[in-house]
Structure formats: structure tokens, C-alpha cells
Amino acid sequence: MKKILLLDDNLDIVQIVEEVLAYDNYDVKSVVTSAGFLPLAEQFQPDLIILDYRLSDGNGGEICQTIKAHPQFLHIPVVIFSAYTQPGLDLKVYGCDAVISKPFDLEDLLEVVKRLLSMETSRITLQSVSN
């Protein structure tokens, strides 16, 4: 079972996303604050991370940069979602693998999750073959 770590400070979104992903047979762990996020990721070992961009106690983009700079996590796909959009703001500059705008369609979320997890599986398989 693939594991997904979700960070969003909106409890309504957390509950909906958890429910949809769990229904699709993902093991989901959610947190609403960024405090202690990296140690939690080290413990949980997620296959995919979903981050809200604007958090009450941090910035999801900066957390994404930290994840992508960490040798243990740099291969893990990261999705940033946000209702905060403005002209010229490209959330991909933080190194995320996908951006989803809020409000979002749950089917679109599932499609992105499945695509990124299948890419990750392909990457692992290619690494195993080349070694």
C-alpha cells in the first residue's frame, strides 16, 4: 500500500483528501502544522507528499525545497496545492512535481497522485535494472 503524507492547515480539506485517498487504498497520514514535518516524514517514509502552499505556520514551497534538498527525500514526488494564485507566481520554482489549484476536483487529485506514483515506481524499477 502506497503511503501519502499530507500537510494542510484546513481541517475540511484534510478530512476530504484523507477520505478520498483512503477509499482509493492509500495509507494517508495528515498533519495541520509544519512543525516537526521532516522528522515525521523520516518516520512515516511516504511515497508521495502533498503540501498546502500557504500555511498558518510556514510556507509549503519552502518545505518542498527542503524536501527536495534532503538526500533521503529528493526522489519522493511532491504536490503543492493552493488557493493562492497570482500572476507571475510559479509554484514549480520550489521543485514540486505537480501543482493543483484550490478548489480542486477530487478526480483530478487522484489522477495526479496515480500518475506521480506510477512515475516513481518506474524510476525505482529503472534504477534496479541499471544496478
Which domain range does residue 75 map to? 3-130
Cell numbers for 111: 489522477
pLDDT, tens digit, 9 for 90 and up, residues 60-100: 999 999 999 999 999 999 999 888 766 556 788 899 999 99
Pairing assessment for the beta strands 54-55 and 58-59 based on DSSP bridges: antiparallel
pLDDT class of 103 with cuts at 50, 70, 90: confident
Number of domains in the chain: 1
Tell which phi-psi region holds residue 36, choosing left (phi > 0), alpha (psi between -120 and 50) or beta.
left
Is it the case that residue 2 has pLDDT exceeding 50?
yes
pLDDT, tens digit, 9 for 90 and up, residues 8-59: 999 999 999 999 999 999 999 999 999 999 999 999 999 999 999 999 999 9
CATH code, domain with 30: 3.40.50.2300
